[in-house]
Chain A
Amino acid sequence: MKHPNQEKQQLKEKHTQLQNPHRHILKDLFWFSFIATFFKLLLIPAYHSTDFEVHRNWLALTHTLPLSQWYTDETSPWTLDYPPFFAYFERFLTLFASLVDPTITDLYNGLNYKAPTVIIFQRLSVIASDTVLIYSIYKLTNNMQLKKRFLIWVLVVWSPGLLIVDHVHFQYNGFLLGILLISLGALQKGHDLFGGFVFAVLLCFKHLFAVAGPVYFVYLFRHYCRGGILRGSGKLVTMGTVVVGVFLAAYGPFAYYGQIQQVLRRMFPFGRGLCHAYWAPNFWVFYILSDKVLAYVLSRLGFHTQPPTASFTGGLVGDSSPFSILPTINPSVTFAIVLLAISPCLVKAWKNPDPKMIVRQVAYAYTCGFLFGWHVHEKASLHFLIPLAIVAIESIEDARHYFILSIVSVYSLFPLLYEAQEYPIKVVLLLLHVALMWFGFSSQFSESASLSKNGGLVSRWIERIYLVGFVGVEVWGQFVHPLVFGDRLPFLPLMMISFYCALGMMYSWIWQLRCIIRLR
């Protein structure tokens, strides 16, 4: 029953909402993030990878050793290989860790420590550090429409990729991506200096983000350092000072001890192979597979082929080629290809530095880095999946692309959680994400005629077949393969996932490239 009082109350509420929209936005965002947080709490006892011990070791190492030995210590095989800011961050965490349980920060007794205290502490540290992501997303969306805002929050705050990688597998990606999003948000709003500063900070947290460095450089050079030679160079100097200052703060102490060489050697272990143990779904999957196929065909035709002596997932480069027919790839080649792939975007950024396009351009750069980079991890797909969420609601085309990309990307993370206990969790996470995206995008674009005319969110028949194919790949890998082959060829299902997801990644890359070239 309706009471007049109640109506008044509602009107009043509406009035306060209008008066203070930011408070209201924060309230809603808190709602989204707390639901996520409580769910993350539930995941605490789930499986965690060796990365958990890696980070525990870093805690111990930064707590017990003086700064000069951080990058030289070899007590544990999991040596420190992130830039200095991350080491400082770990040092900051040890302030609390040593209070919770001194064994966590013990360099020797803490090795492979598995007590509930360390698990809860480290998991909570990831959950707490996600605050940065929440803050960045608040900054990015506080001027948007309610519906768009909610959709972006669903895509970022409830991202299944971040849940799988950070809160089950164990890493701090949410925190790092939060820093990236703060920087992108600042650029979008025209605060170029701050954006550049934050990006420099990010690079000193995790150097893998440097792939977008060229885009940042060109954009800031053209957008920030405008206004004549004098003013422009003045701004260039300002920006340069800020960036150099950040790098000094990070690397200065180590330069003081004369360890820059050692730090860089740790950060860039080119001794690793072209691919990770589980091939990330990128271009090199096709390269390796075509090499295999060619070798097979040629040997069938009677040509003599040398079977490869080295593995492409590990071992030292240069000793022998892991390929039998195609030329060997070394880090400098991949570097050149990545630069070449980014170049159209650089040209665009040079010609027309547009704050509206910067998110797409940065995401595109990370896509190129992911597709053509050296020793890429499958987790790196989050680097462009999360930023692209911000532009996914701009048009129906964006939504369609994001829908497919996000399924591909999350599915490619599945092999990370290989234990039976987490199997249903990852599957239901993906299903829920698909359902939320489907209903969210559909209601967002329901008014636009193109959605209903062109047959919904997944319009092309080839896309439909591709998406249905995921079910086939999963069913094969989980059920049919063990029945047919038993324990033989254990890598075949993984290879299939890599190959199948790589198709989607290539599609996404081409789509993004086209989008960047086409849009003004």
Chain B
Amino acid sequence: MTGTKSRVGLSKGFRQAHLNLPGEINSSGTLTPATALSFSGRDFIFHLVFRRHRHLLLICALTKPIHHHYPSIHHRRLLPSLPALQHQIKKTCEEISRGQDQKQGLKEMKKSRVTKAVKVEVKNDNTRWWSTHMGISAPFICVSLFAVLVRLAVSLHPHSGAGDPPKYGDFEAQRHWMEITTSLPVNEWYQNTTENDLSYWGLDYPPLTAYQSYVHGLVLRFFHPESVSLYSSRGHESYFGKLLMRWTVLTSDVLIFFPAVLWLIVAFANQSRGHKSNIAWHVAMILLNPCLILIDHGHFQYNCISLGLTVGAVAAVLCDKDLVASFLFSLALNHKQMSTYYAPAFFSYLLGKCLKRQNPFLEVSKLGMIVIGTFALVWWPYLHSRVTVLEVLSRLAPFERGLYEDYVANFWCTTSVLIKWKRLFTTQSLKLLCLFLTVCSSLPSMFLQIRAPSTRTFVYGLLNSAFSFYLFSFQVHEKSILLPLLPASILAVEEPFVFQWFTQFALLSMFPLLCRDKLLLPYIALYGIFIFVYYAPNGKPDTPKTRFWSRVTLFFVVFLLFLSFVLHIVYLTINPPKKYPFLFEAIIMLLCFSQFVLIAVYTNWKQWVLSMKSPLGSEKKRV
């Protein structure tokens, strides 16, 4: 184990500080590796404070043997100021003495799983060792470079609708938006005019997408004007034009999604959820998510921007910066209206937190101001009259496109095998029904958040609300599975198996779509990379294997994996019977739907258990 090794090297010669500590540490004098080890076997609670020359080291690790936490010492980013540290040492010592008398206090601390590891160098002449060893930067740089490489390699493959006139695919839609936004004035972007035929890939995303298209369109116009010229560029597919388009996605990904993930990881490290040795693994799980890469860099979309903004908002929530969080999430909403999937979680968490404060009304109005301000800023060009606002709004709600698209693994599409919803109800009543079911299914999660808002359950809340939208809302697309998948990837450290299971079936649910895009090869490759990175040596956090992998579950897991493998092969090789041309799509959809429902039920239950366990919520977390 590498962690143990570095620990031994570290604690050599460290001397104890002049602090009143209970127990054997006090009597041992010098802390040798051996004493540290003997401690790790006996109890799960350690508070060691020692000093060497002018280095001060403080470790308080709870609920796990010390060698699990030791790698965290290399993490140097979270240095508090010196007085704060002294305060912390004092507090820790008090906690220890209290803990020895009162088992109750210890238990509570155990429950909250507070883990803190801080290294302070009052004056350090040997910084290089630390910076090059195992901070956050090294794993993040390596993993993100690899993630960029994978994205670049995927972008060599065909995009959606390549060489498929007259409507082409999402690639053409995005290119057309660049063409429209760079050639026409702002107020005509959402209007049906002679220059802007809305029936041909008219803009149907909020203004931030339009601005993004405008900026990217300017870049394209500078380097390759033919690819965005009005009218003449429809269906434009040149080597250089395609390349530039691909690079715009990549740069948005690197400039928005990657920094957001970095912030999230730092926030996680601050919270000390999971150990630091998993940092590389966790970053890889988020950045190498095969679904997101395939849709953005293969199929061609800009999900990385809205999802990146959402990740940023989550990181802000974890860092307790609620105003920043609401700003970023408003931006995400204004980039893709699909971000509404997360809205219940953000809303209920922030509301619940405001209610816990001294002056709830003030807090709520502060957040409200931020949200309204952001929206006003983004919608500024359209705010001068009601007509224009309604025009844009009507573009954003494509109710004419029907209850669902293709074979999406949600409630409506799956049950329509038995119940023909579209024939039984009018669109109007279906809309209401969808709304009702979506709200109902997300209510439990929202209620828990409002009652006891905590950062730990917040990510579960995100997942649950995204799930309820995916399963029950109106006009869901296969690609929408990316939205529940994102919080699941953030939860990868806590729920590795669920995340992996979910990713596999999310991929499967998009398989027919990706086959149509001729992305079979990257599908296989990314699936392989994902599985192998998931089982990286020393990467994955330990799961309680013995409990989970009982024989029955193991049987089901293997059976379902085999089934999905067979489905892949059958879909590729066998022609469906003429009577049911979409038979295999329907089977894939059924399988995926069943798994999604299972996962959604589990995560809802988990959120309930977690928020019941720590009734004091986030207040407890902030040590």
Question: Are B535 and A31 closer than 8 Å at their CB atoms?
Answer: yes
Question: Are A436 and B142 closer than 8 Å at their CB atoms?
Answer: yes
B141, B521, B547: the one within 8 Å of A5 (CB): B547
B532 in the interface (beta carbon within 8 A): yes
Bound CA span A9–B152, Å: 40
Bound CA span A1–B240, Å: 53
Please give, as numbers and ranges, the residues of chain B lying within 8 Å of A439 by CB-CB distance.
Answer: 132, 138, 141-142
B44, B126, B149, B544: the one within 8 Å of A425 (CB): B149
Closest B residue to A2 by beta carbon equals B64
Question: Are A35 and B532 closer than 8 Å at their CB atoms?
Answer: yes
Distance in Å from the Cβ of A191 to the closest Cβ of chain B? Answer: 29
CB-CB contacts of A442-457 with B at 8 A, as 1s and 0s? Answer: 1100110001100010
Residues of chain A whose beta carbon lies under 8 Å from any beta carbon of chain B: 1-3, 5-6, 8-10, 27-28, 31, 34-35, 37-39, 41-46, 146-147, 420-421, 424-425, 428-429, 431-432, 435-436, 438-439, 442-443, 446-447, 451-452, 456
In the complex, 5 of the A-B residue pairs with CB atoms within 8 angstroms, ordered by the A residue number, are A31-B535, A39-B525, A45-B521, A428-B149, A429-B149
Residues of chain B whose beta carbon lies under 8 Å from any beta carbon of chain A: 2, 9, 44, 63-65, 113, 126, 128-129, 132-134, 138, 141-142, 145-146, 148-150, 152-154, 156-157, 239-240, 243, 247, 250, 521-522, 524-526, 528-529, 532-533, 535-537, 542, 544-547
Please give, as numbers and ranges, the residues of chain B lying within 8 Å of A35 by CB-CB distance.
Answer: 529, 532-533
Closest B residue to A30 by beta carbon equals B532
Bound CA span A169–B503, Å: 34
Bound CA span A438–B133, Å: 10
Supplied contacts A42-B526, A428-B148, 5 more A-B pairs, CB within 8 Å: A35-B532, A42-B154, A424-B247, A431-B145, A442-B132
- Contacts A42-B156, A42-B525 given; does A432 touch B145 at CB 8 Å: yes
Question: Are B156 and A46 closer than 8 Å at their CB atoms?
Answer: yes
Distance in Å from the Cβ of A305 to the closest Cβ of chain B? Answer: 44
A9, A435, A446: the one within 8 Å of B133 (CB): A446
Distance in Å from the Cβ of B623 to the closest Cβ of chain A? Answer: 19
**A-B contact count, CB below 8 Å?**
114
Please give, as numbers and ranges, the residues of chain A lying within 8 Å of B138 by CB-CB distance.
Answer: 435, 439
Please give, as numbers and ranges, the residues of chain A lying within 8 Å of B134 by CB-CB distance.
Answer: 443
Please give, as numbers and ranges, the residues of chain A lying within 8 Å of B65 by CB-CB distance.
Answer: 2
Bound CA span A426–B183, Å: 35
Please give, as numbers and ranges, the residues of chain A lying within 8 Å of B521 by CB-CB distance.
Answer: 41-42, 44-45
Question: Are B156 and A435 closer than 8 Å at their CB atoms?
Answer: no
Closest B residue to A43 by beta carbon equals B153
A9, A451, A456: the one within 8 Å of B545 (CB): A9
Closest A residue to B130 by beta carbon equals A446
Q: Among the interface residues B128, B152, B528, B529, which one has the most CB atoms of the partner chain A within 10 A? A: B152
Bound CA span A439–B139, Å: 9
Please give, as numbers and ranges, the residues of chain A lying within 8 Å of B126 by CB-CB distance.
Answer: 452
Question: Are A425 and B537 closer than 8 Å at their CB atoms?
Answer: no
- Contacts A35-B529, A147-B2 given; does A41 touch B524 at CB 8 Å: yes
Bound CA span A346–B525, Å: 46
A6, A27, A429, A435: the one within 8 Å of B546 (CB): A6
- Contacts A435-B142, A442-B133 given; does A10 touch B156 at CB 8 Å: no
B129, B156, B536: the one within 8 Å of A446 (CB): B129
Please give, as numbers and ranges, the residues of chain B lying within 8 Å of A425 by CB-CB distance.
Answer: 149, 152-153
Question: Are B536 and A31 closer than 8 Å at their CB atoms?
Answer: yes
- Contacts A6-B544, A432-B149, A446-B129 given; does A34 touch B528 at CB 8 Å: yes
Question: Are B63 and A1 closer than 8 Å at their CB atoms?
Answer: yes
Please give, as numbers and ranges, the residues of chain B lying within 8 Å of A38 by CB-CB distance.
Answer: 524-526, 528-529, 532
Closest A residue to B156 by beta carbon equals A45
Q: Across chains A and B, which 4 residue pairs bring their CB atoms closest together, nearest first?
A: A42-B153, A442-B132, A38-B528, A432-B145
A1, A9, A421, A456: the one within 8 Å of B128 (CB): A456
Question: Are B544 and A3 closer than 8 Å at their CB atoms?
Answer: yes
Distance in Å from the Cβ of A150 to the closest Cβ of chain B? Answer: 8
Bound CA span A8–B525, Å: 36
Question: Are B522 and A42 closer than 8 Å at their CB atoms?
Answer: yes
Bound CA span A442–B133, Å: 7
Bound CA span A46–B152, Å: 10
Please give, as numbers and ranges, the residues of chain A lying within 8 Å of B150 by CB-CB distance.
Answer: 39, 42
Distance in Å from the Cβ of B186 to the closest Cβ of chain A? Answer: 32
Bound CA span A38–B290, Å: 12
- Contacts A5-B544, A6-B546, A42-B521 given; does A424 touch B152 at CB 8 Å: yes
Question: Are A6 and B542 closer than 8 Å at their CB atoms?
Answer: yes
Please give, as numbers and ranges, the residues of chain A lying within 8 Å of B133 by CB-CB distance.
Answer: 442-443, 446
Question: Are A6 and B545 closer than 8 Å at their CB atoms?
Answer: yes
Question: Are A28 and B537 closer than 8 Å at their CB atoms?
Answer: yes
Please give, as numbers and ranges, the residues of chain A lying within 8 Å of B9 by CB-CB distance.
Answer: 447
Bound CA span A343–B153, Å: 45
Bound CA span A44–B542, Å: 36
Question: Are B243 and A421 closer than 8 Å at their CB atoms?
Answer: yes
Question: Are A10 and B532 closer than 8 Å at their CB atoms?
Answer: no
A2, A9, A42, A435: the one within 8 Å of B63 (CB): A2
Bound CA span A425–B526, Å: 17
Closest B residue to A7 by beta carbon equals B65
Closest B residue to A158 by beta carbon equals B146
Question: Are A45 and B157 closer than 8 Å at their CB atoms?
Answer: yes
Please give, as numbers and ranges, the residues of chain B lying within 8 Å of A451 by CB-CB distance.
Answer: 128
Closest B residue to A160 by beta carbon equals B149
Please give, as numbers and ranges, the residues of chain A lying within 8 Å of B535 by CB-CB distance.
Answer: 31
Bound CA span A435–B139, Å: 10
Distance in Å from the Cβ of B354 to the closest Cβ of chain A? Answer: 31
Bound CA span A3–B548, Å: 12
Bound CA span A73–B152, Å: 40
B145, B157, B239: the one within 8 Å of A435 (CB): B145
Closest A residue to B542 by beta carbon equals A6
Distance in Å from the Cβ of B380 to the closest Cβ of chain A? Answer: 35
Bound CA span A435–B535, Å: 22
Distance in Å from the Cβ of A413 to the closest Cβ of chain B? Answer: 16
Question: Are A31 and B537 closer than 8 Å at their CB atoms?
Answer: yes
Please give, as numbers and ranges, the residues of chain A lying within 8 Å of B533 by CB-CB distance.
Answer: 35
Q: Among the interface residues A27, A38, A428, A452, which one has the most CB atoms of the partner chain B within 10 A? A: A38
Please give, as numbers and ranges, the residues of chain B lying within 8 Å of A8 by CB-CB distance.
Answer: 546
Question: Are A432 and B146 closer than 8 Å at their CB atoms?
Answer: yes
Closest B residue to A46 by beta carbon equals B156
Bound CA span A429–B152, Å: 10
Distance in Å from the Cβ of B26 to the closest Cβ of chain A? Answer: 26
- Contacts A147-B2, A446-B133 given; does A428 touch B542 at CB 8 Å: no
Please give, as numbers and ranges, the residues of chain A lying within 8 Å of B240 by CB-CB distance.
Answer: 420
Please give, as numbers and ranges, the residues of chain B lying within 8 Å of A146 by CB-CB distance.
Answer: 2
Question: Are A10 and B542 closer than 8 Å at their CB atoms?
Answer: yes
Bound CA span A431–B145, Å: 8
Closest A residue to B247 by beta carbon equals A424
Bound CA span A37–B525, Å: 8
Distance in Å from the Cβ of A40 to the closest Cβ of chain B? Answer: 8
Closest B residue to A425 by beta carbon equals B152
Closest B residue to A37 by beta carbon equals B528
- Contacts A6-B545, A31-B537 given; does A432 touch B153 at CB 8 Å: no
B129, B152, B522: the one within 8 Å of A452 (CB): B129
Question: Are B44 and A43 closer than 8 Å at their CB atoms?
Answer: no
Closest B residue to A5 by beta carbon equals B546
Please give, as numbers and ranges, the residues of chain A lying within 8 Å of B547 by CB-CB distance.
Answer: 3, 5
Closest A residue to B148 by beta carbon equals A428
A3, A27, A39, A436: the one within 8 Å of B153 (CB): A39
Question: Are B149 and A446 closer than 8 Å at their CB atoms?
Answer: no
Distance in Å from the Cβ of A360 to the closest Cβ of chain B? Answer: 27
Closest B residue to A34 by beta carbon equals B532
Bound CA span A9–B543, Å: 11
Bound CA span A165–B240, Å: 24
Question: Are B153 and A452 closer than 8 Å at their CB atoms?
Answer: no
Distance in Å from the Cβ of B46 to the closest Cβ of chain A? Answer: 13
Please give, as numbers and ranges, the residues of chain A lying within 8 Å of B154 by CB-CB distance.
Answer: 42
Please give, as numbers and ranges, the residues of chain B lying within 8 Å of A44 by CB-CB distance.
Answer: 521
Please give, as numbers and ranges, the residues of chain B lying within 8 Å of A429 by CB-CB distance.
Answer: 149
Distance in Å from the Cβ of A35 to the closest Cβ of chain B? Answer: 5
Question: Are B546 and A39 closer than 8 Å at their CB atoms?
Answer: no
